[in-house]
Every structure is written in structure tokens, then in C-alpha cells.
Amino acid sequence: MSLTPNQICDEFAVRRAMQENLSLWRDSYGWSMETLARKAGCGKDTIKRIEHGETCPKLSTFYSLCLAFGVGPETLLGSPEDFAVDVKGAA
């Protein structure tokens, strides 16, 4: 399944999912923010800002987080369909 031509992804829903899922995955591994940051090659402050919903990670950081957990992007974030929003007036 994929987005239709009259749908976009809701950025705020993506940010909330990233915030919740990153924290859940990190807790399930028993890792501190510092441990995850080291394994993903980013700063502890980056992890903190993502988990607090202050920012979304850059694509390279997102993939590094997936690699640190050993999961694919849809496992860590969800599928695009989860965030689909209809665009008004789209043909």
C-alpha cells in the first residue's frame, strides 16, 4: 500500500511517532540516551530533542538509529500510510 496522489504525510504525526517509538525502543534495550547516541554516532542532545518532540532527525541520523537497533525504517517509525492526510482540492 502507498500514498495516493491526493495524500501527503502529516509532519506532526511523524514527529510524534518518532518521539514515542525512539523512547520505547531505547527503553526496551535498556539503553541510556548516551548509549544510543554513541551507537548511532550522534550526540546525546540529538536523542533528547527527538524524544522530546523538539525535532525530527536528519535522514542520515534516522538510518543510523535504525542500524543501532537492528531494525528497518518502518519498524522504528511506521509506514507512510500511518501518516496519510488527504489534500483538499487535489485532483
Which has the closest alpha carbon to 40: 64, 74, 66? 64
Q: What is the pLDDT of residue 87?
A: 61
Q: What contacts 11, CB < 8 A, 6 or more positions away?
A: 56
Class in CATH terms, 7-86: mainly alpha
Q: Taking the model in full, what pTM does it have?
A: 0.75
Q: What is the pLDDT of residue 42?
A: 96
Q: CA–CA separation, 31 vs 25, rounded Å?
A: 9
CB 6 within 8 A of CB 91: yes
Q: CA–CA separation, 45 vs 48, rounded Å?
A: 5
Q: What is the pLDDT of residue 20?
A: 86
pLDDT digits (tens, 9 = 90+) for 30-52: 999 999 999 999 999 999 999 99
Ranges of residues in the chain with a pLDDT under 50 are 1, 90-91
Domain ranges, ordered by start, for the chain: 7-86
Q: What contacts 20, CB < 8 A, 6 or more positions away?
A: none
